[in-house]
Chains A and B, each alone.
Chain A
Amino acid sequence: MNWSWFHTLGSPKKFYYLSLKWERFLLSFGALFLGSGLVWGLGFAPEDYLQGNSFRIIYIHVPAAVIAQSFYVAMGVAAFVQIVWRMKLAPIALRGFATVGALMAALALITGAIWGKPTWGTWWQWDARITSVLILLIMYLGIIAIHNTYLERQLSDRLSAVIALVGLINLPIIKYSVDWWNTLHQPATFTLTEQPKMPSEMWLPLLLSFIGLYIVALAIVFIRMQTHILEREKKTRWVRDEVNDGV
């Protein structure tokens, strides 16, 4: 099997230039999808018969929540690669996914609260999904905190990888237990995102904005990774050339 792609991605320098190329691509496609999804969803999709216009926040809320979860998995994979192969790029990716994932979790919580006020009449409800996202945010913040605490870079890379991987292994257990806990405490909560028979004029823009936000978030991860690469490799020639060219 040809593993050269693996090594290409493992080299910060090669990844830097590759991601520079991808970045414009991703940003323009992401903006296209996200823009059309949002315009369609916010402007033209039909009103919800129960919630009126307030439901339209799902075009941000649901994508953000899903991305926050899937980035945690991506971060866990980076942590695994870091622990097993000590690949140079892995901790950089881990940190990128952690930051953007935390942002997405925070975005999901904020939009959820804004949505909750008109529908539930309260900013906050200990609903299973919301609680899961809150815990996810805390876990992200813990990893970022570990990464920021240690001044020795090797140490901070490895320790944050350990806690990220432990978190990934525990995530299904935590999610399952929170769901179980929620049915125990609030058996009657009706779930908003699982509405039966969402018409296609409603879910198509949701799909568009989901794909769009996903691509944009990925592009932000890449941009953050580029910054980290430049900072970490600041003593190498290519970074000096690169930075001086820009000035």
Chain B
Amino acid sequence: MTYSSIFLSEWYLTFRRKQDIANSILFFLVVIVLFPIGVSASPSFLASASVGIIWCAASLASMLALDGIFKEDLRDGSIDQWRMNGLMVSIIVLGKVLIRWGAFILPLLVLIPFCGVALSLPEDLMFETIVSLLVGTPTLFLLAAIGASITASLRNSAVLMTLIVMPLYLPVLIFSTGYVKASELGVSGIGQLAILAAIFLIVLLISPFFCAISLKASAE
């Protein structure tokens, strides 16, 4: 095993199981649909809520996309083989999460303009919404990976994962919607964007490390 053989295999596996990614994207759409129907369909409400709705849906969908990312590796003994080959579990975790993020964010970005129209998202905020998703969702994925690694040995992990990961999501949720809202008010949101990037860097440092600890513990 080498890093490149693992990442190439992960690439194949992601596309072979593309329905998993598709499911999380469909879930995103379903949550989007719930808001106009459940809360209010008036364009004035939707216009002010649209960014928040998109971000809530993206948070939930990202958790669904990562639930089970390590389950197979734990079950089929891959984690043992990574370690046997002297590879760092944390680097493999990082690679797996990034591959999955790539497979998730591309279809999501394609859908955002349509969701924006459906939610009466002001047109001049479309760009900022997309930027906020691009900067914010990698952090969400890295945080969800911690939850996924902790629940890797459980059969039904989605609810528990939501419970432990959701509090960690809040800063990302707050500053990414804050960034878009700042632009809405005509203020520069670059500060919020910088904070988002800083949070990303912190999480980038800690997430693979803690994922490795919990995966090794689960493999015992």
Direct contact of A and B (CB under 8 A): yes
What 0/1 readout, one digit per residue, does chain A (25-44) give for beta carbons within 8 Å of chain B? 00000000000000000000
Residues of A within 8 A of B164 (CB): 139, 142-143, 145-146, 163
Please tell me if the beta carbons of A174 and B163 are within 8 angstroms of each other in the complex.
Answer: no
Residues of A within 8 A of B220 (CB): 154-155
How far, in angstroms, from A139 to B170 measured CA to CA in the complex? Answer: 12
Q: Which of A139, A141, A159, A166 has the most CB of B within 10 A?
A: A166
A-contacting 9-mer, from B8-16, B110-118, B128-136, B146-154: B146-154
Chain A residues with a Cβ closer than 8 Å to the other chain, count? 30
Q: Which residues of chain B in 145-175 are interfacial with respect to chain A, using CB atoms and an 8 Å cutoff? A: 146, 150, 153-154, 160, 163-164, 166-168, 170-171, 174-175
Residues of A within 8 A of B183 (CB): none
Please tell me if the beta carbons of A166 and B153 are within 8 angstroms of each other in the complex.
Answer: no
Residues of B within 8 A of A126 (CB): none
Chain B residues with a Cβ closer than 8 Å to the other chain, count? 25
| Min distance, Cβ A159 to any Cβ of chain B, angstroms | 5
Please tell me if the beta carbons of B163 and A162 are within 8 angstroms of each other in the complex.
Answer: no
Q: What are 23 pairs between A and B in contact, CB < 8 Å?
A: A135-B167, A135-B170, A139-B164, A139-B167, A146-B150, A146-B160, A155-B220, A158-B217, A159-B217, A159-B218, A162-B213, A162-B217, A163-B146, A169-B202, A170-B167, A174-B167, A174-B168, A177-B174, A178-B170, A180-B174, A180-B178, A184-B178, A184-B181
Residues of B participating in the A interface, judged by any CB pair closer than 8 Å: 146, 150, 153-154, 160, 163-164, 166-168, 170-171, 174-175, 178, 181, 199, 202, 206, 210, 213-214, 217-218, 220
